[in-house]
Amino acid sequence: MMHFQAGSYLLCLLANLYFISLCNYASGTTGSSSVLIIIRDQANDYHHKLATAKKAELDTQIKAENLNAKVILMHEEYPVEGAWTILPVLPDIARKYADEFKWFMFIEEGTAVDIKQLTTSFLTKHDPSAFKLLCRCLHDNSPTIIHHFAFVNKAIKKFKYPDFDAGWIWSTALLQKVAFNLTPETLESDFQIDTKHEIAMWLEEHHDLKVTCVKELCGGGENKKSCVTKFDKFLPDCGDKVTLDDVLVSVKTTLMFHKDRVPVVQKTWGKYVQNIRYYSNVTDLTIPTMDCGVPNTVSGHCGKMEKIILDAYETSYDWLVIADDDSIIGVSKLLKLLNCYDPNRIIVLGERYGFGLLSGYGYGYITGGGGMVMSRAAVRAWKNKGCHCPAIDSPDDMFLGQCFSLVVGVPVTHSPLFHQARPDDYADGYLGNQEPISFHKHWEVDPYEVYADWFAQEDKAMFAAPNVKPTEAPEPQVIPIPPTPTENQIKDEL
Ligand SMILES: *[C@@H]1O[C@H](CO)[C@@H](O)[C@H](O)[C@H]1NC(C)=O
């Protein structure tokens, strides 16, 4: 999809470019504009259901007012894994739809849109033949690992990037310019961490474009009359069937962290979890940790993760949560979310990153620090489809994603409520759109405070009588380790 496949496509694009530059502006003043709305949906049942309902609701608006708009589901139109990173699908969107629409709006499954207001009073104020990306703007307050510490020495707050939750809108001119110039060389990035920031950086670098901040695209529960989109802070309400009995939490640790990180888990979120296991390289019955038979590795813990999954295979829990010893989790919020998913379907859930997706060969994976959730069916699939770590120090989260994407054939499912980094690493405007379920890392933060600020109240309310007695660790047993470590270590220290 990355490559320009046919000469006719180029011709078509060229024609479009000239057509647009000649004709579009005039028709921008006719009192209503046209928009293609693309919902960034996912294949997973639950998310597909949400996106389908969103599309139906938007279609009803369009029909009722006879508006010049159309709604498509990204995943249906582009059933390839990298579609969520946006750039790879732009040439195709431009080819198919640039004739028909003046504006191209991407929304999330939870974004509310007033299409009438959007097309008749908001977009008519803007020029679709100018290179424009209209959005609610986010900015970082300090350099953050998730943005590769960009702007260490510059005015970081001045760099704006779009809030996807509020919807973000490309002019047809910008879409076509970008699509026309998209080549594999311009998409060289290996890792996809935070698409909204990466796209803004990319547009500035390759097209000298700064996003246009508009107040009509709204998030964070804003409810002004001028808002044509809205995004409410929410934790989905899917019932309350899932209890702690249904969940096994396995924490990866090592001797070095028995005294500092593990006590934090035990005094915060871990104290509520009945079925919690600490997988270490040393047995310490005072915690208790168990020597899981896999030697400690400095980075990449695939061997330990595999042991965790194979142990879970021997149990009947609906859900396996694999956490780091410096993960900070809102247990009650996690339980609530799990009600939305079917443990009998193959699901690997958490915050999705991507590797190599822009180049069309990669896969998505759940970044480990925010917690990796596996359904019972996913645990079974790991073993039954023969996934096996290439080396004990392969990057565990990446290999898990690779296994499910390339071997099992079910890519991971993204929930923006899980977080690989600390609260301060995310834009305020972004966190203001959601009820987070996890954060990660103790670096330069007080993890007790993070837990208290974000999770303690809800956990206390849900688990009035905390069960502080951890279950017995299973018999330690050694798994055979493949003798020769293979290549594979290209992971960012993220
Ligand atoms: C366990 O891991 C620690 C690092 O956390 C290391 O220093 C220690 O030597 C390891 N012990 C054993 C018995 O493998």
Q: Is 281 in the pocket of ligand 1 (CB under 6 A)?
A: yes
Closest CA to 265 of 288, 240, 247: 288
CA 176 vs. chain centroid, Å, equals 26
Q: Identify the weakest region by mean pLDDT among 29-43, 58-72, 385-399.
A: 29-43
pLDDT at 103: 98
Answer yes or no: do 12 and 160 share one domain: yes
pLDDT at 493: 39
Helix axes 90-97, 172-181, angle to 10 degrees: 130
Q: What is the CATH number of the domain that holds 109?
A: 3.90.550
Residue 162 has pLDDT above 80, yes or no: yes
Closest CA to 407 of 486, 360, 348: 348
Beta bridge partners of 213: 135
Q: Identify the weakest region by mean pLDDT among 2-16, 93-107, 292-306, 445-459.
A: 2-16
**Tokens found for residue 359:** 């180049």
Answer yes or no: do 257 and 202 share one domain: no
Q: Is 295 in the pocket of ligand 1 (CB under 6 A)?
A: yes
Q: Which residues contact 396 (CB under 8 A, 6 or more apart)?
A: 252, 300, 301, 302, 304, 305, 368, 389
- Confidence band (pLDDT; 50, 70, 90) for 470? low
Answer yes or no: do 186 and 37 share one domain: yes
| CA dist list (Å): 259 to 177, 252, 282, 288, 297 | 56, 14, 13, 12, 18
Q: Which domain holds residue 13?
A: 7-230
Write down the residue that tokens 């579609």 correspond to. 83
Q: Is 256 in the pocket of ligand 1 (CB under 6 A)?
A: yes
| Mutation to probe ligand 1, out of 256, 257, 278, 299 (largest number of atoms < 8 A from CB) | 256
| Domain presence at residue 483 | no
Q: What is the pLDDT of residues 151-161, one digit of tens each?
A: 876 688 999 99
| Domain presence at residue 90 | yes
Answer yes or no: do 249 and 222 share one domain: no
Burial 443-479 (b: 16+ CB within 10 A, else e): eeeebeebbeebbbebbeebbeeeeeebeebeeeeee
Answer yes or no: do 41 and 186 share one domain: yes
| Domain presence at residue 287 | yes
Q: Is 296 in the pocket of ligand 1 (CB under 6 A)?
A: yes
| Domain presence at residue 220 | yes
| Domain presence at residue 436 | yes
| Domain presence at residue 491 | no
- Confidence band (pLDDT; 50, 70, 90) for 475? low
Q: What is the CATH number of the domain that holds 357?
A: 3.90.550.50
Q: Is 254 in the pocket of ligand 1 (CB under 6 A)?
A: yes
Taking residues 251-255, report their average pLDDT.
97
Q: Which residues contact 466 (CB under 8 A, 6 or more apart)?
A: 271, 272
| Domain presence at residue 482 | no
Answer yes or no: do 273 and 210 share one domain: no
The H-or-E segment that residue 252 falls in is strand 247-252
pLDDT at 15: 42
Q: Assess contact for 375 and 345: CB atoms under 8 A.
A: yes
The minimum-distance atom of ligand 1 relative to the CA of 255 is 5
Answer yes or no: do 248 and 183 share one domain: no
pLDDT at 78: 93
Residue 1 has pLDDT above 60, yes or no: no
Distance (angstroms) between ligand 1 centre and the Cα of 322 equals 21
Answer yes or no: do 146 and 249 share one domain: no
The minimum-distance atom of ligand 1 relative to the CA of 257 is 5
Q: Is 255 in the pocket of ligand 1 (CB under 6 A)?
A: yes
Average pLDDT of every residue of the chain: 90
The minimum-distance atom of ligand 1 relative to the CA of 281 is 1
CA 100 vs. chain centroid, Å, equals 31
**Tokens found for residue 69:** 């708009």
Q: Is 282 in the pocket of ligand 1 (CB under 6 A)?
A: yes
Taking residues 348-355, report their average pLDDT.
98
Distance (angstroms) between ligand 1 centre and the Cα of 286 equals 17
Distance (angstroms) between ligand 1 centre and the Cα of 295 equals 7
Taking residues 61-72, report their average pLDDT.
98
Percent of the chain with pLDDT over 70: 87
Q: Identify the weakest region by mean pLDDT among 194-198, 401-405, 482-486.
A: 482-486
According to the per-residue pLDDT averaged within each range, which of 12-16, 222-226, 391-395 is highest?
391-395
Percent of the chain with pLDDT over 90: 81
Answer yes or no: do 196 and 324 share one domain: no
Q: How many angstroms separate the CA atoms of 219 and 227, rounded?
A: 9
Q: What angle do CA 215, 218, 224 make, to 5 degrees?
A: 75
Answer yes or no: do 209 and 295 share one domain: no
Q: Identify the weakest region by mean pLDDT among 17-21, 317-321, 421-425.
A: 17-21
Distance (angstroms) between ligand 1 centre and the Cα of 115 equals 59
Residue 28 has pLDDT above 90, yes or no: no
Q: What is the pLDDT of residues 357-375, one digit of tens each?
A: 998 789 999 999 999 999 9
| Domain presence at residue 238 | no
Answer yes or no: do 218 and 249 share one domain: no
Q: How many angstroms separate the CA atoms of 431 and 284, rounded?
A: 38
Taking residues 126-147, report their average pLDDT.
96
Answer yes or no: do 110 and 143 share one domain: yes
pLDDT at 361: 82
| CA dist list (Å): 79 to 36, 42, 58, 76, 89 | 18, 9, 22, 6, 11
The minimum-distance atom of ligand 1 relative to the CA of 254 is 5
Q: What is the pLDDT of residues 425-461, one digit of tens each?
A: 999 999 999 999 999 999 999 999 999 999 999 999 9
The minimum-distance atom of ligand 1 relative to the CA of 256 is 5
- From 230, 262, 289, the end of a domain falls on 230
| Mutation to probe ligand 1, out of 253, 255, 258, 392 (largest number of atoms < 8 A from CB) | 255
Q: What is the pLDDT of residues 81-97, one digit of tens each?
A: 999 999 999 999 999 99
Collapse the DSSP code of 117 into the 3-class scheme (helix H, G, I; strand E, B; otherwise coil) and give the result. Answer: helix
Q: What is the pLDDT of residues 232-242, one digit of tens each?
A: 988 999 999 99
Distance (angstroms) between ligand 1 centre and the Cα of 189 equals 35
Q: How many angstroms separate the CA atoms of 416 and 436, rounded?
A: 8
Distance (angstroms) between ligand 1 centre and the Cα of 279 equals 13
pLDDT at 477: 59
Q: Count up the domains in the chain and report the number.
A: 2
Distance (angstroms) between ligand 1 centre and the Cα of 296 equals 6
